[in-house]
Structure 1
Amino acid sequence: MALKRMDNVGIVVEDLDATIAFFRELGLELEGRATVEGEWAGRVTGLGNQQVEIAMMRTPDGHSRLELSRFLTPPVIADHRNTPVNALGYLRVMFAVEDLDETLDRLRGLGAQLVGDVVQYQNTYRLCYIRGPEGLLLGLAEELG
């Protein structure tokens, strides 16, 4: 049996509304919001009886999604938002953008901070890492030529 697709990337946040606003500004569309709760959901996550507010954000091409989650119960027990980029585990989500400078200007208005510098890789890409809402690490890439 073959893999069909990567369905979404999940990100746990404290402020769901602010995070939705940030990703909308980046260009993702809010597909929907819901509360997921109950024993059945806890069996999937291994957390038991849980209550989670979720928002599904879709990229403009319709192929990729972010599932933003805010746990009401059980409470969040660890915070990895400020780990350095060389920490073990998931690193970041990378987004392709049309105009890197314009995108950075818009996202800075919502608190985004550049991690290092905007760099150019050969004549192919301009790239950078930013810290978005709640310190989430994101990559931005502008294809050149």
Structure 2
Amino acid sequence: MDIKLSQCFIAVDDHDQALAFYRDALGLEVRQDVSFEGMRWVTVGSPEQPGVDIVLEPPVADPNASDADRRAMAELLAKGLLRGVIFSTEDCDATFERVRASGAEVLQEPVDQPYGVRDCAFRDPAGNMLRFAQRRSG
């Protein structure tokens, strides 16, 4: 069986702000920018992984969603409770400095974890948690 990750989704409440972060601060390339029925989806990805897309989607991607559902999702997003993403990096400390310099909210400075990685964590402009992990050798 040949199964590979193709796409993952991150809810964002301001696509322009998210795009500036994922493109400019993280260096991801923009692959698609699509609008439909008043909603917007922006697809970004690492040039190193052309077959893996991150879709920046509206918190509620349903034009028929109720106002109560929209409010509930907005509250969860504001608390950072919807999704998290873990990126791999060759140099956690350099990645930390680059992302911190962008003004992103720091959740955790680089630290060696007992499970074999050195990682750090930030919140993106929408509040989603992003971790950057470097495998430790040995």
Give the TM-score of the pair, scaled to structure 2.
0.74
For 2:56 and 2:83, how far apart are their aligned partners in 1? 16
Task: Check conservation: 1:123, 1:144, Cα contact below 8 A.
Answer: no
Q: Which runs of 5+ in 2 are unaligned?
A: none
Tell me the alpha carbon deviations over residues 112-133 of structure 1, each in whole angstroms, 9 at most, x when there is no partner. Answer: 1221342113594211221121
Offset at 1:137?
0.5
Offset at 1:27?
2.7
- Specify the code of the residue in structure 2 equivalent to 1:53: R
1:29 maps onto 2:52 in alignment = no
Question: How large is the RMSD of aligned CA atoms in angstroms?
Answer: 2.7
Aligned length: 127
For 1:6 and 1:123, how far apart are their aligned partners in 2? 23
- Going from structure 1 to structure 2, the CA distance change for 1:91 and 1:32 (only over 3 Å counts) comes to closer
Find the partner of 1:56 among 43, 48, 58. 43
Tell me the alpha carbon deviations over residues 52-99 of structure 1, each in whole angstroms, 9 at most, x when there is no partner. Answer: 211111122213211012369556332223547xx7xx6511001122
Task: Check conservation: 1:97, 1:142, Cα contact below 8 A.
Answer: yes
- Going from structure 1 to structure 2, the CA distance change for 1:121 and 1:6 (only over 3 Å counts) comes to same
For 1:30 and 1:91, how far apart are their aligned partners in 2? 20
Give the TM-score of the pair, scaled to structure 1.
0.71
For 1:137 and 1:101, how far apart are their aligned partners in 2? 18
Q: Identity across aligned pairs (percent)?
A: 25
- Specify the code of the residue in structure 1 equivalent to 2:22: F
Tell me the alpha carbon deviations over residues 34-64 of structure 1, each in whole angstroms, 9 at most, x when there is no partner. Answer: 1123xxxxxxxxxxxxx32111111222132
